[in-house]
């Protein structure tokens, strides 16, 4: 990673996610009074005083006690240690209200072994009278503790950010502003983001881990293990790609208010901020209404898409004919994503998993494709001549004067017509099909709008 990495670590419920949200200026990580809400590593871009860096929120490191889920605690610790290895600076956050605890000393012993610059931050110092609570943390032997209130965003937060950027190597993370008149980015090489979405327990995190080449997200057979939308930057043939692993999206009626509800909201927001959405289905389970709803959300957002049939190794007949039949059935049931390429994978055996990135790159390029106005008009005029628009009940017929592509992602076409109300849904679908036959746009949705233009 070219940007410096700053990892926030500490025991559960000391305010790591609150501090993370405060720094990035958005309610991104889920904050709840229950300890252990954050599990995976969450990356977000952050900048301060002309320096930019990747800020990493991590799960709380839990000690050994009777109330701790040992398996999950171990998985969280693995995630934290991965973050420590990547980090250039470590922010060790403690709770000033509770004071120094044995769990804090355990965390201190873990991060000392990494031998990275450590900043000790004492959170929940919400008033002047709380300042005395800072002093006892000198006992940890990690230098001067800095008091702050992540909830209130007091001046201590700025002091800590100043101290963080001072620890960066000279010049690292310096923001370089683009020159005026820079050319538009090449859709075949520019960075983009992929959101991996779907119902719970279809293998989203497993696929993300395979694509990353590391145990990036916690994988469990328990549905709902992933809670936040977890961003992972990777490089493929020198191209920067952000993978967004999301929480499983269940039916609204089955989601309780609280942590899971926030997780679903973040999954839906991940669709909005992604360039390509990968909808993961379980090959061994029938397509459900919920899969159709998620597909509809992706199409409504105008996103390029890839459909992944995971757990293909569980299917007895894996012949080419079976795959063709499966693809046809998926396209029939997920009409909203009929434009998407279908990839058959197995995260367990790593079967065809790299094909996901290949299909995503193609979908991204197709979504950013531009067609010259002359070519667009030629195809639309030929299509209208071949199959004229149907007459309305009053005998009026749509006239198409002129067509142009007005934007990309999604490819959007504007038709200047006699009366936009005469454009039927069926005829719009026909024009979309003719545009796809001529120009492709595989993996990308197409938008068609009309504007009335009076005859001269």
349 vs 25, residue with greater confidence: 349
What is the DSSP annotation of 284-346? TS---HHHHHHHHHHHHTT-EEEEEEE-GGG-S--SHHHHHHHHHHHHHH-GGGTTSEEEE-B
Per cent of the chain over pLDDT 70 is 81
Chain mean pLDDT for the chain: 83
* Mean pLDDT lowest among 152-161, 203-212, 217-226, 316-325: 217-226
**What per-residue confidence (pLDDT) applies to 46?**
84
Residue 343: both structure tokens together: 């990839």
User: CATH top-level class for 5-166?
Assistant: alpha beta
Nearest to 383 by CA among 439, 327, 328: 439
pLDDT at residue 356 tops 90:
yes
Backbone angles phi, psi at 353, to 5 degrees: -60, -40
Close Cβ partners of 408 (under 8 Å, ≥ 6 residues apart): 367, 368, 369, 370
Domain at 192-367: CATH code: 3.40.50.300
pLDDT at residue 136 tops 80:
yes
| Measured distance CA(69)–CA(84) in Å, rounded | 22
**What per-residue confidence (pLDDT) applies to 184?**
56
Mean pLDDT, rounded, for 56-70: 66
3-state secondary structure of 40: coil
3-state secondary structure of 128: helix
Confidence of residue 86 (pLDDT cuts 50, 70, 90): confident
Mean pLDDT, rounded, for 64-89: 69
* Mean pLDDT lowest among 108-112, 179-183, 211-215, 414-418: 179-183
Please write the tens of the pLDDT for every residue from 275-325. Answer: 999 999 999 999 988 899 899 989 988 999 999 999 999 999 999 999 999
Mean pLDDT, rounded, for 156-170: 90
Q: Extract the runs of DSSP E, i.e. beta strands, from 210-340.
A: 230-236, 239-245, 276-282, 304-310
Residue 351: both structure tokens together: 């079967």
Cβ atoms of 84 and 90 within 8 Å: the answer is yes
Nearest to 274 by CA among 232, 316, 313, 221: 232
Mean pLDDT, rounded, for 114-136: 86
Please write the tens of the pLDDT for every residue from 370-381. Answer: 999 999 999 999
Name the strands in the sheet holding 230-236, side by side, starting at the edge strand that comes first in the sequence: 230-236, 239-245, 192-198, 276-282, 304-310, 341-344
Close Cβ partners of 288 (under 8 Å, ≥ 6 residues apart): 199
Please write the tens of the pLDDT for every residue from 382-408. Answer: 999 999 999 887 888 999 999 999 999
Confidence of residue 245 (pLDDT cuts 50, 70, 90): confident
Close Cβ partners of 384 (under 8 Å, ≥ 6 residues apart): 400
Cβ atoms of 442 and 450 within 8 Å: the answer is no
Domain boundaries, the chain: 5-166, 192-367, 373-452
Mean pLDDT, rounded, for 212-241: 64
Mean pLDDT, rounded, for 334-350: 94
**What per-residue confidence (pLDDT) applies to 214?**
59
**What per-residue confidence (pLDDT) applies to 442?**
95
* Mean pLDDT lowest among 68-72, 214-218, 299-303: 214-218
pLDDT at residue 430 tops 90:
yes
| Measured distance CA(103)–CA(11) in Å, rounded | 7
Q: What is the DSSP letter of 351?
A: B
Confidence of residue 229 (pLDDT cuts 50, 70, 90): low
What is the DSSP annotation of 408-435? TTTTEEEEEES-GGG--HHHHHHHHHHH
- Superfamily per CATH, domain 373-452: K homology (KH) domain (3.30.300.20)
37 vs 271, residue with greater confidence: 271
CA 161 to chain centre: 26
Instruction: Tell how strand 192-198 and strand 239-245 pair up.
Output: parallel
Question: In which residue are the tokens 């058959």 written?
Answer: 344
Which of 152-166, 233-247, 291-305 holds the top average pLDDT? 291-305
Backbone angles phi, psi at 239, to 5 degrees: -95, 135
Same fold, 5-166 and 192-367: yes
Nearest to 79 by CA among 248, 228, 239: 228
Mean pLDDT, rounded, for 178-182: 49
Q: What is the DSSP letter of 95?
A: E
């Amino acid at each position: 990673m070219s940007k410096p990495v700053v990892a926030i670590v500490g025991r559960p419920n000391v305010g790591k996610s609150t501090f993370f949200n405060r720094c990035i200026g958005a309610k991104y990580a889920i904050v709840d009074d229950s300890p252990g809400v954050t599990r995976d590593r969450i990356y977000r871009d952050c900048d301060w005083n002309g320096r930019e860096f990747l800020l990493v929120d991590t799960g709380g490191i839990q000690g050994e006690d009777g109330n701790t889920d040992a398996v999950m605690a171990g998985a969280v610790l693995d995630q934290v240690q991965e973050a420590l290895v990547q980090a250039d600076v470590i922010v060790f956050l403690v709770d000033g209200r509770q004071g120094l605890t044995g769990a804090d000393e355990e965390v201190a012993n873990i991060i000392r072994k990494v031998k990275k610059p450590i900043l000790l931050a004492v959170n929940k110092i919400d008033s002047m009278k709380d300042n005395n609570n800072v002093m006892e943390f000198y006992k940890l032997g990690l230098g001067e503790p800095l008091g702050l209130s992540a909830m209130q965003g007091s001046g201590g937060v700025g002091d800590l950010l100043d101290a963080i950027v001072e620890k960066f190597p000279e010049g690292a993370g310096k923001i370089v502003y683009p020159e005026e008149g820079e050319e538009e980015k090449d859709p075949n090489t520019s960075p983009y983001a992929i959101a991996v979405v779907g119902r719970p327990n279809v293998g989203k995190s497993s696929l993300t881990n395979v694509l990353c080449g590391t145990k990036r997200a916690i994988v469990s057979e328990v549905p709902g293990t992933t809670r936040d939308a977890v961003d992972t930057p990777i490089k493929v043939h020198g191209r920067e790609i952000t993978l967004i692993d999301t929480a499983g999206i269940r039916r609204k009626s089955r989601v309780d208010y609280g942590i899971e509800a926030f997780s679903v909201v973040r999954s839906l927001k991940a669709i909005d901020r992604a360039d390509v959405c990968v909808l993961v289905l379980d090959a061994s389970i029938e397509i459900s209404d919920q899969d159709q709803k998620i597909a509809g959300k992706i199409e409504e957002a105008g996103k390029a898409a890839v459909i992944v049939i995971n757990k293909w190794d569980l299917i007895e007949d894996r012949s080419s004919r079976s795959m063709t039949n499966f693809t046809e059935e998926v396209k029939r049931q997920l009409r909203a994503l009929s434009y998407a390429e279908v990839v058959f994978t197995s995260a367990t055996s790593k079967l065809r998993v790299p094909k996901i990135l290949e299909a995503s790159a193609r979908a991204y390029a197709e979504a950013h494709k531009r067609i010259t106005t002359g070519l667009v008009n030629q195809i639309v005029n030929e299509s209208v001549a071949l199959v004229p628009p149907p007459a309305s009940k009053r005998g009026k017929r749509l006239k198409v004067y002129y067509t142009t592509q007005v934007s990309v992602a999604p490819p959007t076409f504007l038709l200047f017509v006699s009366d936009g109300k005469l454009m039927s849904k069926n005829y719009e679908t026909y024009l979309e099909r003719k545009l796809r036959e001529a120009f492709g746009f595989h993996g990308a949705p197409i938008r068609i709008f009309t504007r009335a233009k009076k005859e001269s």
